[in-house]
């Protein structure tokens, strides 16, 4: 199957109240692990690619790996730019074969965010590519993005609804109390904001910063209307812990396959558990 836009599966997620996982890819092993778990669970998935990951992997390798995964798995897979910062980077991704893009204009003034997101939506929709927008600021660190958690601003529901109406995005990320990276304490999610927005718009709310959020909070967020949930850090933690363990066990190891195989297996486990928690298993 070729890569698909998020509109292949998000309307069904919205209607049936499950969430599709966006798992960020950082290299071949991430891509393989996510695909393997999705195949085992028969789940639609989204490969998230930050601008930093794109620079690391290179555009051609990124698209080729995602296309290979979609072809091999036969699953609906979207290749999605995560936190795209400009119109130009979004267009470069679409030209290269991305099937979905996020334009993150959340650091701009509200009206500017609407205007800039609208431009991306117009161009992307003409190419059959889906678009995610963002409102409010999500705290934590994600590659080049650093937002002080105290400075992170929750989304205002009325503004979010108008943002959807004016831009026509296919998914809307709103700041509701989660943050990128692992949490020091337990995150306090504002389910009322998710519910207030999701009940008034026909597309799902996106929950960023899915790593380290307790299972029960994830279930409540999905019940309130989160239909796409992003996870990156938990895979990074599992990957690196497995590599550390393999290297510590044998100081003479030099074959990367010896430590990347357990790393990949650890990520399959993380993704499988998230897919089941999100309820997207058997929804491909």
Binding site for ligand 13P (CB under 6 A): 24, 48, 82-83, 142, 180-181, 208-211, 230-233
Shortest spacing between CB 273 and ligand 13P, in angstroms: 14
**Calpha distance 156→56 (Å, rounded):** 35
Distance, in Å, from the CA atom of 25 to the CA atom of 33, rounded to the nearest integer, reads 10
- Is 255 catalytic? The answer is no
Nearest distance from residue 206's CB to ligand 13P, in Å?
8
Q: Is position 211 annotated in a ligand binding site?
A: yes
Closest contact distance (angstroms) between CB of 129 and ligand 13P is 18
209 is in an annotated binding site: yes
Q: Tokens in use for 113?
A: 């965010």
Choice between 5 and 233, CB closer to ligand 13P? 233
Q: Is 104 annotated as a binding residue?
A: yes
State in angstroms the smallest separation of the CB of 147 from ligand 13P: 12
100 labeled binding residue: no
Cβ-based nearer residue to ligand 13P, 240 or 282: 240
Instruction: Please name the residues in contact with 168: beta carbons below 8 A apart, sequence gap of 6 or more.
Output: 118, 121, 125
- Catalytic residue, chosen from 82, 143, 170, 192, is 82
Query: Whose Cβ is closer to ligand 13P: residue 151's or residue 248's?
Result: 151
Q: Can you tell me the distance from the alpha carbon of 4 to that of 31, in angstroms, rounded to the nearest whole number?
A: 16
Cβ proximity to ligand 13P: between 56 and 261 the closer is 56
- Residue 150, marked binder: no
Cβ–Cβ under 8 Å, residues 12 and 244: no
Q: Looking at residue 229, what DSSP letter applies?
A: E
The edge-to-edge listing of strands for the beta sheet with 179-180 is 145-147, 139-142, 179-180
- Spell out the residues 6+ positions from residue 231 whose beta carbon is closer than 8 angstroms to its own: 21, 22, 23, 24, 210, 211, 270, 271, 274
The catalytic residues are 82
């Amino acid at each position: 199957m070729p890569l698909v836009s998020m509109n292949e599966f998000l309307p069904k997620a919205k209607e049936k109240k499950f969430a599709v996982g966006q798992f960020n890819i950082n290299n071949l092993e991430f891509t393989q692990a996510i695909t393997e778990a999705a195949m085992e669970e028969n789940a639609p998935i989204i490969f998230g690619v930050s601008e930093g990951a794109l620079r690391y992997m290179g555009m051609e390798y990124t698209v080729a790996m995602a296309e290979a995964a979609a072809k091999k798995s036969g699953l609906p897979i979207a290749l999605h730019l995560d936190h795209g910062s400009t119109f130009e980077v979004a267009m470069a991704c679409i030209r290269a074969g991305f099937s979905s893009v996020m334009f993150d204009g959340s650091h701009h003034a509200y009206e500017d965010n609407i205007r800039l997101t609208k431009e991306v939506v117009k161009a992307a929709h003409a190419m059959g590519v889906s678009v995610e927008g963002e409102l409010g600021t999500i705290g934590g660190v994600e590659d080049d993005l650093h937002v002080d958690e105290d400075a992170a601003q929750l989304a205002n529901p009325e503004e979010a609804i108008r943002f959807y109406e004016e831009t026509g995005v296919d998914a809307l990320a709103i700041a509701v109390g989660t943050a990128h990276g692992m949490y020091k304490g337990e995150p306090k999610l504002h389910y009322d904001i998710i519910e207030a927005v999701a009940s008034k718009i026909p597309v799902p709310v996106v929950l960023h910063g899915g790593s380290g959020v307790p299972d029960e909070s994830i279930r409540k967020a999905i019940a309130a209307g989160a239909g796409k949930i992003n996870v990156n850090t938990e895979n990074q933690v599992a990957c690196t812990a497995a590599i550390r363990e393999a290297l510590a066990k044998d100081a003479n190891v030099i074959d990367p396959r010896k430590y990347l195989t357990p790393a990949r297996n650890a990520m399959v486990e993380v993704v499988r558990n998230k897919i089941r928690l999100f309820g997207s298993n058997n929804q491909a």
